[in-house]
Structure 1
Amino acid sequence: MNSSLISPDDMWVLWGFIAVWAAVSIFLEQRYRWASAVSGAVIALGGAMLFTNVGVLPTESPVYDAVWTYVVPLAIPLLLFQINVRKIFKESGRLLLVFCISSVGTVIGSILAFFLFRHQIPYLDKIGGMISASYIGGGVNFAAMAAKFQTPGEYVSSTVVADNFMMALLFFILMGIPSLKWFQKRFPSACISDSGKNRAESYWKRKDMSLRDIAMNLGTAFAIVAVSVKAASFFKGLFPSDGGSVFIQFLSGILGDQFLLLTTLTLSATFAFPRYFQKLRGAQEIGTYLIYLFFVVIGIPADLRIILTNAPLLLAFVFVVAMTNLLVSLAAGKALRFRLEEILLACNAAVGGPTTAAAMAIGKGWRELVAPIMLVGTFGYLIGNYVGTFMGTWFASLL
């Protein structure tokens, strides 16, 4: 039963809140130095959490689903239009290694959390497989493992709530770490600069943009998304993921993934037609605003009341997995002398997926890492289901 002030079916009011709060977050980030230090992304996410937990916003609504289904896919190509593809492959080598290390952190954390809570949490073999896949890939891997292991619906819902809250908490931590002097002194960095200048305001200074730019940006983005969705659907039918050889399942995972195809098609287009995309103005601004809508939405489901009553142990479980991921990433990154921003983005991409990692890179001003972390993050979609299947099957044999 819905008890929030705004009904889940009150579409215009919910869209209005999401759009306005995203705008407020951007304004605060560019207007005040304290907000720039915190970042507009954290303000967007934290404010949404606050409004949910005081009873203003519902935790579920078709509006939120629409942001995931339509807004996020549109934002991805827009944020990649101005990227030099050759630099992506030059930069992604290091990030891919850090991401793999972060994925190992997820596996270690899942094993540790399983042995800590296997006698307290029912169906932990299934939940462990879901979280292992999700914290390497993303929501698509979570859903796939939930269906594969036939996890009871109430435990899927409770895990989603705990997972959303954990992601929000981890994003707060990841966004705050670069500002701490302890980390600045101990980790190399090429992007972090703490001058008195408001970096957000400087980066997003006013630029010339025409109606044609807006039309071509959105028209191209819509076309790429449409082709990606149709192509992914076609390949899923051609290479079903629920049967056949490992090679067939691998092809299904690569060609049937909408976000992987979306990224690949965009990068292919920018490589094939560099002059066309270099002439477009405003793609990054439009894409970033759409990402802020997403940040508001991911903060909304983190309902503390549900977590405290139904999922405290699940919250502890995902906390152990996420924190182990972060600690392993930091420790290995320090030993291998990776840059702090690379480590944090790889951790973000593993736990939250490529979209949230790209949003973090934009929010922190790490412009050169936006495309590489998107590319590396989508790699997690490919391997997440395999890791989740192995972990869930192994955990089941231990119960």
Structure 2
Amino acid sequence: MHSLTWLVFLGIAAYFFSEGLSNVFPKIPSILTITTIGILLAQLPFVNKLHGAHTLGLYLVFLFLAVIGAYCEISSVMELQQIGITLLLFASVAVLIHGALLIILGGLLYRDWDMIAIVSQANIGGGTTAIALAETFERNELILPAILVGTLGNALGTYLGFLVVYVL
């Protein structure tokens, strides 16, 4: 209970700190601030020693996936008309090419299909969905690498995306 109290306190404190910082610097989105705070907090030995973070995090990941899944509707894509269909086709082709390359290269070079599936999921769906897949395959040694690879892609993409927006 002690660890859970600290985890909830740190999460709420990080949220309020990031919201306050976004009022001072309105050009920096609060999601970037809270993500950076979370990354910094994860480096502290005190936070690393808190128990229950894995269980709480996994529960919140499953909740996140359920919410995302609830909002995935083809009718929403169709409401966007031509641009929605174009984006859907672009994403489908990108995933198809990714899958073909991964199956061909994975089959030729590395035949651990569980690992290949988790790597693919980290690439396409991000770290959160890769955690769920690693848990499903009972490959606990791949949970941390899946989180790191997925998070690295999300972080680089997010920070670089905002940089491009500010430059343009």
Q: TM-score range by the shorter chain?
A: 0.5 to 0.7
Q: Deviations over 1:94-114 (max 9, x none)?
A: xxxxxxxxxxxxxxxxxxxxx
Contact 1:263 1:375 in 2 (8 A): no
**Alignment partner of 1:365 is 2:138:** yes
Percent identical: 24
Cα shift at 1:308 = 4.7
Question: Which one of the candidate residues 71, 78, 82 is aligned to 1:301?
Answer: 71
Question: Which one of the candidate residues 113, 137, 144 is aligned to 1:340?
Answer: 113
2:57 corresponds in structure 1 to 287
Q: Give the distance between the partners of 2:8 and 2:114, measured in 1 at CA.
A: 31
Q: Give the distance between the partners of 1:387 and 1:329, measured in 2 at CA.
A: 26
Cα shift at 1:325 = 2.0
Amino acid aligned to 1:223: F
Q: Give the distance between the partners of 1:232 and 1:378, measured in 2 at CA.
A: 22
**Alignment partner of 1:220 is 2:6:** yes
1:384 corresponds in structure 2 to 157
Amino acid aligned to 2:2: M
Amino acid aligned to 2:97: T
Q: Cα–Cα, structure 1 residues 341 and 257, in superposed 2: closer, same or farther, change >3 Å?
A: farther
Q: Cα–Cα, structure 1 residues 260 and 326, in superposed 2: closer, same or farther, change >3 Å?
A: farther
Question: Which one of the candidate residues 34, 39, 42 is aligned to 1:258?
Answer: 34
Contact 1:224 1:262 in 2 (8 A): no
Cα shift at 1:303 = 1.7
Q: Determine which structure has greater relative contact order: mean sequence separation of CA pairs < 8 Å that are 6+ residues apart, divided by chain length.
A: 1
Contact 1:348 1:356 in 2 (8 A): yes
Greater per-residue helix proportion: 2
Cα shift at 1:348 = 1.8
Q: Give the distance between the partners of 2:163 and 2:124, measured in 1 at CA.
A: 17
Q: Deviations over 1:313-367 (max 9, x none)?
A: 4322210112222222333333432632332222222222222222222233222
Cα shift at 1:286 = 3.8
Gaps of 5+ in 1: 1-214, 242-255, 391-399
TM-score between both structures, scaled by the size of structure 2: 0.67
Gaps of 5+ in 2: none
Q: Cα–Cα, structure 1 residues 389 and 322, in superposed 2: closer, same or farther, change >3 Å?
A: farther
Q: Give the distance between the partners of 1:294 and 1:328, measured in 2 at CA.
A: 29
Contact 1:232 1:261 in 2 (8 A): no
Q: Cα–Cα, structure 1 residues 306 and 276, in superposed 2: closer, same or farther, change >3 Å?
A: closer
Q: Which SS does the other structure have where 1:365 is aligned?
A: coil
TM-score between both structures, scaled by the size of structure 1: 0.32
Amino acid aligned to 1:289: Y
Cα shift at 1:276 = 4.1
Larger Rg: 1
Q: Deviations over 1:248-300 (max 9, x none)?
A: xxxxxxxx45335424522x24xx259944xx3x5544433333222221111
